[in-house]
Amino acid sequence: MNSRQVLRVIHGAWNLHQNGEWSFERKKNDLGFPAIVRTSETFDSLERIVRSLYNLAIETPISMTYRLPEWMLIPDGNNTPPITILKTPDVQVMIALRAWFADLTLCVTIGAEDVAHYQFFCRSDFNIGSSSYKFGNGNEDPSFEGFEVKKIKHLEYEVRNKEGYPFYVDISKRFCSCFEFQLLEITCQHAVAAVIVAKIKVDSLVAEEYTKNATFAAYVGSVAPVIDTDDIIELSGFEVKKIKHLEHEVRNKEGYSFHVDISKRFCSCFEFQLLEIPCQHAIAAAIIAKIKVNSLVAEEYTKNATVSAYVGSVTPVIDTDDIIELTGQFSELDMLPPSTRHPPGRPRKKSFLSSGEVRRKPSDLGYTVLVKLNESFKDLETIIRDRYKLKPETPLTMAYHPPEWMLEPDGTRRPLITVSTTSEVEAFGNRNSHCRFLFKLGNYENPSFLEVPDIC
């Protein structure tokens, strides 16, 4: 029979105290959820129920645990670690216990950090990135799952990764053939595998700059002015090549190269010279040359220059009692602008057109029509009316403007040529095929279009 039970689910994190006692600390905002589970529940189905209750993505790490009643924790009591659910039989055992103990609660740990802490407290296997840490029964040497470590000689090892690529590690020289150990001066994953086998503390292999003493020493003495690093690009995106002493070629991510001369405070991007503050290319070159970036700023940006600006006496404020008031002499002067009045009528929004200037309607984009050299006036008028869907009674005037080289000596002051007969249509076609044909709609008195604002 597939019966169902109500199981309480809470979210929190396990903590292992110094006295060896285990305690589950719930999250402040978590009130818990009631979950309905079946006696035939599997591990995958139970995990889906928990993820749906807390709206978790499939890639979010979770750990499901529960704890037996206190009278079953003899003889260790609270020092007994919780039971982790890893397989379907673990789920069935928990549901069977739930039938006898109503207070049985499913404790869920969510997130990579909390899950890693719990697994570390349990000394169970856990992963960090591509590296896997394994713990044996206490008599075995800790190692990396997927890494094969072979000892060459004292403090020298050959580390082979999962893909089978070998890496040479020399702990005494802080060297690894992947070069990450030398560049970052922090142990890489291959060096960590060799260090664990050699039983050496990993923290002892980091550079002196990462230690606590170096951090405290950085704040001893005067503090140099700090350069604005908002626009500084990481050094990993630059390719720096040394030309000679204090001269480098810096190539950015897009492949553009810049010449940097640190001794002359010069960069071919000219930002270094203009602002007198190291640009991103100069900073990349200075890091390679092992020169302090703060030493490359101009003297005006230093603390000494700021202090020297306030050295000396400060001129006192002038006594205002001896100032002569001149308000009486200027009281009769009229300092306002001249009075003007607006002309009668509504203000004009459009300017007056110059001689020969044509203004098109804003909504008209024009049309391209095919006409014959022997086109008649009526046929051309029919084409225009069909294009603009005009009625026969709508007044229409057609005109054109010859090219500029034909308008000498008057130029654009020459009026437009109105087309009213068939011979004028043929003259328009014979003059120039690049002439723009203009016309107006409506009944206007001036056929030359000089004062008509709405010409198409």
Sheet holding 166-170, edge to edge: 148-153, 156-160, 166-170, 175-176
Mean pLDDT, rounded, for 71-76: 77
Using alpha carbons, list the distances in angstroms from residue 252 to 150, 184, 238, 241.
40, 21, 5, 12
146 vs 250, which has greater pLDDT? 250
455, burial (CB in 10 Å: exposed 0-12, middle 13-18, buried 19+): buried
Cβ(189)–Cβ(129) under 8 Å?
yes
| Stretch among 38-42, 109-113, 382-386, 443-447 having the lowest mean pLDDT | 443-447
Could you tell me the pLDDT band of residue 279, with boundaries at 50, 70 and 90? very high
Whether the predicted pLDDT of 75 surpasses 80: no
In this structure, what token pair is assigned to residue 59?
């890639």
The ranges assigned to domains in the chain are 4-122, 128-209, 235-302, 353-456
Domains 4-122 and 353-456 share a fold: yes
Whether the predicted pLDDT of 437 surpasses 60: no
Is the pTM for the entire model greater than 0.75? no
Q: State pLDDT tens for residues 333-382.
A: 777 788 888 888 888 888 887 766 666 666 666 777 787 777 888 888 88
5, burial (CB in 10 Å: exposed 0-12, middle 13-18, buried 19+): middle
Could you tell me the pLDDT band of residue 413, with boundaries at 50, 70 and 90? low
The single-letter code of the amino acid at 255 is G
Distance CA 258, CA 242 (A): 12
CATH tag, 4-122: 3.10.20.90
How is 103-124 classified by DSSP, letter by letter? T-EEEEEESHHHHHHHHHHHT-
Q: Which helix (H) or strand (E) holds 285?
A: helix 280-288
Class of domain 353-456: alpha beta
| Stretch among 19-33, 157-171, 210-224, 285-299 having the lowest mean pLDDT | 210-224
Closest CA to 397 of 452, 317, 330: 452
